[in-house]
Structure 1
Amino acid sequence: MTNTRMFLTMLFGAVFRRRGRALMAVVASLVGAATLFCLAAVCIEAPRQINQEMRSYGANLVVSPIQGDNRSAGIEQGMVDHTTHMVTAKAPARYATYRYETVQVNAGARVMAGIHPDQVRQLNRHWSVEGSWPRPGSVMVGRDLADSLGLTTGKQMTIGYPASQVTGTGKAGGQGRDFRVGGIVDTGGPEDRIIYADLADLELLTGAKRGTDVIEYSVNTMTSGLKTIAAGINDMTSMGVKARPVTRITAGDSHTIAMLQSLFWLVSVVVLVLTFVGVGTTMASIVSQRRSEIGLRKALGASSRGIAMEFLAESACYGLAGGLVGTALGYGFARLLCLSVFQRPLGFNWWLALGTVLLSVAISMIASIRPVLRASRIDPALVLREE
């Protein structure tokens, strides 16, 4: 029998003769691997999922004309297309354009926004709309404004654009038009004080076309990527526009992700310590049970190095078995968690799985070093005399 075959025979014999102790070591590694894989998978996936969820709550990047330029002319369509290309080249994004005008309703000044309804609906999925979005001949009124004017869906309202106001082309706007209130929007924000109309209707009311006042983007990227995109736009001073991240959205992303990552590291350290203690205690118990066997083998000529290698290989087997099963269980838990919280499946990260298994093996071997050193120092004479 070769040395390698003898080594393997002794190794597997030791494992299967003490199945109870071996199971305890495997379970310790299994729990650690399952917890670590689950936490790491969720920690890696959560920022992306949270980012996607936050994107449904409106824009996280706003582009507007630079102060001091001819702001009344707005942002021309060519510049809108160019800015959008710069943004989407870095990350997927949705966008909407807004043109704002001051109009008169019941002799009072109000803000009216000309929009492309499909763009705004896709960008602001959190808006609660009673009725319909703006259509030709109808408008959508913010909840606060509707309540103050006593407006409900289906009612008619007259919106005027004073002749004294002059558009960017120098042509005076019309005196007023009747619109149907097609919908009422409730956002809980400043949008509730604005009248929204199809851009073509606003152009007819004012009697002129002009550029966009604001471009809002919902960019599917993390805070650092968003700052890079904004900096890239701001560096192009010849564009005549400036970009700024929306603080309330980006700060929410950053704080949530930072909290999750801190929690991950804290729990990971606790799990690693518990796994280390569990495997180390089990291996110490196994060494204690095998003192007589170790003494006899050393008396027959077995080297301390050979005995140490056998115990390290045994602990590595426990770590490997626990790591493989624990990784599978951890993936199941992580997938179930993502489905229940984000309603989206979780893909399997092979690199994370490999790292978890290798870490499980490494922890098992490191935890076994002290018991193994104790086993290699056993004096065969003392052990045999005790027997």
Structure 2
Amino acid sequence: MLTALLAVAIGAAVLMGMMTVYRDIPEQMGREMRSYGANMIFVPAEGKTAMNLFTVESVVKEIPQEKIVGAAPWRYKSLTMNHLPLTGAGTDFLQVEKTRPYWQVDGNYPKNDNEILVGHDIAEMTKLKPGEVVNVAGKNENGKPFRQELTIAGILKTGGKEDGFVFLDMHLLNGLLETPDTVEIMELSVAAPAGELELYRQHIERDTPDIVPRLVKRITRSETTVLEKLQMLVYLVTAVILMLTMICVATTMMAMVMERRKEIGLKKAIGAENRSIVSEFLGTGIVLGMLGGCLGCVMGYFFASAISFSVFGRSVSIVPAVIVITLGLSVVVTVIACILPVRRAVRIEPALVLRGE
């Protein structure tokens, strides 16, 4: 009985641990996948080159804020830096750190409006270093020239086209261009599965005709593939554990029937019905399932916490529904495991057993 109890407890522990961890996997995996960049972007509608910043920010607020990891606006303009022609990009550096966490910066991200990031290729060409002051010049939307002295806060190295850009604060660039409420692209990093992202996209596309939302398919597709494989792994491990638990309990109960053959035969000889024998063994199985399930729930919580903390760096919360499912499956498995031993018990012939045959 102790062996069967431990088997049920271990099976319930693994079952609860896997279900608890899997419940948090989509959210946690979604946040981990955000390190690969934004998974949704807003672009202007056809025929337009820019969007209103306040309109874009109001649309972003329609997405549940707890799911938004970052939302970075972008605007591009041809500029010169120390008479060198290049492309300037305006953005919100606090949000860029969230939407593009893979960026490598030698120095610091700009903290003030008069600070900029310079791409690695430009820095190599001009021999510029963090802390140096440069002259950035260009023309605003009305053709009026402007010039501004800015300090290099850091050198950006991504290995991509960003290495040839200079990055300014969005408010500074819009101020120089005298278009304070303009954004060309909005990058969003949303911790949500592909299906949920598609619902957000359809809602925004329907309600805001001036904005065209698009999903970054390579990011969302990769996330969906990983989650599907993890789901199959969880199902496979759970099925194997439940099967092994069932076999262990069935073997133990069969041994109990064989040990108690004379007792069962004596009971039937003095008038016990098969229903009484069935109730006795099934009752034992139900009690075994409940006790093992309760013990397994406690063990499963610590098991899930250890996995979640080691993989995602955070603990898990207790979900009543998972506990109920674990207890229910533990009882169902033990009852199913008792079916074969019970059939063996009711087929015992009292006369043969009592004669020692």
The normalised TM-score by structure 2 is: 0.92
Alignment-mate amino acid for residue 234 of structure 1: E
Cα deviation, 1:344-376, whole Å, max 9, x if unaligned, reads 110011111111111111111111101101101
Amino acid of the structure 2 residue aligned with 1:222: P
Aligned to 2:80: 104
Q: 2:329 aligns with which of 355, 359, 365?
A: 359
2:108 equivalent to 1:138: no
Does the CA-based 8 Å contact 2:289-2:334 persist in structure 1?
yes
What do the CA deviations read for 1:3-28 (whole angstroms, capped 9, x no partner)? xxxxxxxxxxxxxxxxxxx1011111
Corresponding residue number in structure 1 for 2:43: 64
d(CA) in 2 for partners of 1:206 and 1:340?
A: 49
Cα distance in 1 for residues equivalent to 2:323 and 2:122: 55
What's 1:288 paired with? 258
Matches within 5 A, 1:124-273: 124-134=100-110, 135-161=112-138, 167=141, 171-174=142-145, 176-206=147-177, 208-209=179-180, 211-236=182-207, 239-273=209-243
CA distance in 2, matches of 1:380, 1:208: 97
Q: Provide closer, same or farther for how the CA distance between residues 249 and 382 of structure 1 changes in structure 2, counting only shifts above 3 A.
A: same
Would the aligned equivalents of 1:327 and 1:356 in 2 still touch at CA under 8 Å?
A: yes
* 2:51 aligned counterpart, secondary structure: coil
Q: Give secondary structure in 2 for the equivalent of 1:345.
A: coil
Change (3 A) 1:375 1:116: same
Judging changes above 3 Å, is the alpha-carbon distance between structure 1 residues 39 and 210 closer, same or farther for their aligned structure 2 residues? closer
* Gaps in structure 2 of 5+ consecutive residues: none
After superposition, residues 323-362 of structure 1 pair within 5 angstroms as 323-362=293-332
Q: Partner residue of 2:52?
A: 76
SS in 1 for 2:183: coil
What letter corresponds to residue 185 of structure 2 in structure 1? V
Larger Cα Rg: Structure 1 or Structure 2?
A: 1
Q: CA deviation at 1:89?
A: 7.2
Contact 1:315-1:368 at 8 Å conserved across structures:
yes
Residue 34 of structure 1 corresponds to: 13
Letter in 1 for 2:203: G
After superposition, what is the alpha-carbon deviation per residue over 1:128-167, rounded to whole angstroms, capped at 9, x for unaligned? 3222323333211123432344322123333332x5xx62
User: 1:64 is matched by which residue type in structure 2?
Assistant: V
Secondary structure, counterpart of 1:160 in structure 2: strand
Matched residues in 2 for 1:204 and 1:326: separation? 62
Partner Cα distance (1:365, 1:88) in 2? 44
Describe how 1:284-323 pairs up with structure 2 within 5 A.
Answer: 284-323=254-293
Q: Which residue pairs with 2:248 in the alignment? A: 278
Alpha-carbon distance between aligned partners in 2 of 1:189 and 1:258, rounded to the nearest angstrom = 31
Gap regions ≥5 residues in structure 1: 1-21
Q: 1:289 to 1:352 in 2, by over 3 A?
A: same
Distance 1:309 1:210, change over 3 A: closer
What is the alpha-carbon distance in structure 2 between the residues aligned to residue 254 and residue 75 of structure 1? 30
Q: Does residue 87 of the first structure (1) align with residue 58 of the second (2)? A: no
SS in 1 for 2:318: coil
Question: Contact 1:173 / 1:208 at 8 angstroms: preserved in 2?
Answer: no
Q: Deviations over 1:271-330 (max 9, x none)?
A: 111111111111111101111111111101111110111011111121111111111111
SS at 2:17 equivalent? helix
DSSP 3-state at the match of 1:64: strand
Q: Cα distance, 1:213 vs. partner?
A: 0.4
Structure 1 counterpart SS, 2:89? strand
Amino acid paired to 1:145: I
Indicate conservation of the 8 Å contact 1:323/1:360, yes or no.
yes
Instruction: Return the letter of the residue paired with 1:61.
Output: M
Most deviating of 123-132 and 38-47: 123-132
Does the 8 A contact of 1:64 with 1:243 survive in 2? yes
**More deviation in 82-91 or 366-375?**
82-91
